[in-house]
Each structure stands twice: as C-alpha cells, then as structure tokens.
C-alpha cells in the first residue's frame, strides 16, 4: 500500500481552511472529474467521478466518510471507490497548523487499488494517485487564497 505525502501553505486562517475541508459541497468541488455529489450528512457523501487513464475511461462511485475530527487541527477521512473494473481505498489524514503566511496543511494518504487499474503498473498508478489527492489540496489552496 503506497503512502503519499504533501504540504500546502494556504493564505487563509486555520478556521477558514477547516470550514472548507469539512463542508462536503466545497471540498467535493475540488475532486478532479466530479460528475455528481450526494451529501448524506456533514461526515458522509457519495460521488461519481469521471476517470480516464490511458484507454480506460469510465465512472467511479466513491463513498466518502470522515472517521476523525479534531477541530480545527486534524481530520481523517476514508474514500472507498469502485468502477472501471477496479476498487480503490484511500485513507487520508490532514493536519492544519498556524503558519506565518496563514495555514500549513500537511496531508498523508494511504492508497490501495485492486482490479484492472492495479494492472497498469505500480509506478504509473502511484503517479496518478498522488496527483489526484494532491490536486484536491491544491484546489483548496486556490479557492481559499482568492
């Protein structure tokens, strides 16, 4: 199970970053390829995401769940997806710290993929997984830094 890490400095107060990350409509809008979003409650939502990897194209259904909240410092989430003949599980943790320029967002994600997508090759798949998770937090930075 590969583990990915990243960091962003967001020029917004920590509470604003926390509020964004814990609002399913806002953070859902940062999911690459989002086709639809159904909010169950503040800690659960379901999404359909369009993916395109090489010749594989299709829709992945994702169930998102917040598994831990320590406002406004830490949030842990689980994303369980299936589609395109594959399954993916992402467990991610985000830590928010006060920073001179606003908020330091540090994230760690463990990703497990099985099925057709797993056959693409670990290096290629790892690059895609890292980019997807990283893009969510880069989008968060862009939306909050305006």
Q: Which pLDDT tens digit goes with each residue over 94-118?
A: 999 999 999 999 999 998 888 877 7
At 42, the pLDDT band (50, 70, 90 cuts) reads confident
Contact 89, 80 (CB under 8 A): yes
Tally of domains in the chain = 1
72 Cα distance to chain centroid = 18
Range of the domain at 83: 3-144
pLDDT at residue 104 in the model: 97
Which range, 2-11, 22-31, 65-74, 113-122, is most confident? 65-74
- CATH number of the domain enclosing 109: 3.30.530.20
Contact 105, 94 (CB under 8 A): yes
φ/ψ of 69, rounded to 5, equals -135, 130
């Amino acid at each position: 199970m590969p583990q990915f890490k990243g960091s962003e400095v967001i020029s917004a107060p920590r509470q604003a970053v926390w509020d964004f990350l814990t609002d399913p409509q806002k953070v859902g809008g940062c999911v690459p390829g989002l086709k639809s979003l159904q909010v169950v409650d503040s800690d659960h939502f379901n999404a359909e995401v369009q993916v395109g990897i090489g010749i594989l194209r299709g829709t992945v259904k994702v169930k998102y769940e917040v598994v831990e909240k320590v406002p406004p410092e830490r949030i842990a989430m689980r994303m369980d997806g299936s589609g395109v003949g594959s399954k993916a599980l992402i467990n991610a943790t985000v830590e928010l710290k006060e920073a001179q320029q606003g908020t330091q967002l540090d994230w760690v994600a463990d990703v497990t993929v099985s099925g057709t997508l797993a056959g693409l090759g670990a290096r290629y798949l790892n690059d895609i997984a890292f980019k997807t998770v990283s893009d969510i937090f880069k989008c968060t930075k862009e939306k909050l830094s305006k």
